[in-house]
Amino acid sequence: MKKMEKGYFEEAKWLFNNYIPTVEEYMKVARVTSAYPTLSTASLVGMVGDLVKEEYFEWITNEPPILLAASTICRLMDDMVGYGFEVKVCAVGCYMKEHGSSATKEEAFGEFEKQVSKAWHDINKECFHPTAVPMPILMRVLNLTRVIHLLYKDADGYTNSNTKLKDYIKYLFIEPATSVTI
């Protein structure tokens, strides 16, 4: 929580000073302020039995590679779908400023889509070769990332309820696949 508060303060300073950071500088802060690390940590609380130990909370708060990759996916996908209507510093704006006046939104999106793809590769690598924590812990991070990917895949499904997300929820809970005739 303290990291997130510091990150919010840093973002507020950027906004107040009309400062646009480099993409690297932005992502260092934005991975934290995406709240993804906090959400991942909180998801461990609901696990039962001997699955959750103090060492697993320490592991996740030390930002393991899977969490960094998941936070990258969360932040970049949110920034891409929110670009143009959210009034805040975002990865797209940082990229365009950093790469000069000839940089386009499409170029930034292309770069970030590559980074999202690489982050998925990193997550898969961590899941195929788990070492520090048991698979059920990794699955929490993986499944939250899947939800984030679905939320931001085509549009901002978190902010705008008039997206495909409404259909996904309907198909999952109201019209499950078992009732569909093929």
Please write the tens of the pLDDT for every residue from 30-61.
999 998 999 999 988 877 777 788 899 999 99
pTM (2 decimals)? Answer: 0.85
User: pLDDT at residue 142 above 80?
Assistant: yes
Domain that holds residue 37: 2-155
- Among 35-49, 58-72, 162-176, top mean pLDDT goes to 58-72
Q: What is the mean pLDDT of residues 85-113?
A: 90
Q: Is residue 172 part of a domain?
A: no
Please write the tens of the pLDDT for every residue from 111-136.
999 999 999 999 999 999 877 899 99
User: pLDDT at residue 73 above 90?
Assistant: yes
Please write the tens of the pLDDT for every residue from 130-141.
778 999 999 999
Q: Is residue 174 part of a domain?
A: no
DSSP the chain: -HHHHHHHHHHHHHHHTT----HHHHHHHHHHHTSHHHHHHHHHHT--GGG--HHHHHHHHT--HHHHHHHHHHHHHHHHHHTTTS-S--HHHHHHHHT-TT--HHHHHHHHHHHHHHHHHHHHHHHHS--SS-HHHHHHHHHHHHHHHHHHSSS-TTT-SSSHHHHHHIIIIIS-GGG---
User: pLDDT at residue 148 above 70?
Assistant: yes
CA–CA–CA angle 157, 160, 162 (5° rounding): 90
What pLDDT, on a 0 to 100 scale, did the predictor assign at position 12? Answer: 93
Report the domain count for the chain. Answer: 1
What pLDDT, on a 0 to 100 scale, did the predictor assign at position 182? Answer: 46
Q: Is residue 66 part of a domain?
A: yes
Q: Is residue 74 part of a domain?
A: yes
Q: Is residue 163 part of a domain?
A: no
Q: Is residue 119 part of a domain?
A: yes
* Distance in angstroms (rounded) separating the CA atoms of residues 40 and 67: 8
Q: What is the CATH number of the domain that holds 122?
A: 1.10.600.10
Q: Is residue 149 part of a domain?
A: yes
CA dihedral 119, 71, 46, 167 (to 10 degrees): -80
* Distance in angstroms (rounded) separating the CA atoms of residues 166 and 49: 34
Q: Is residue 35 part of a domain?
A: yes
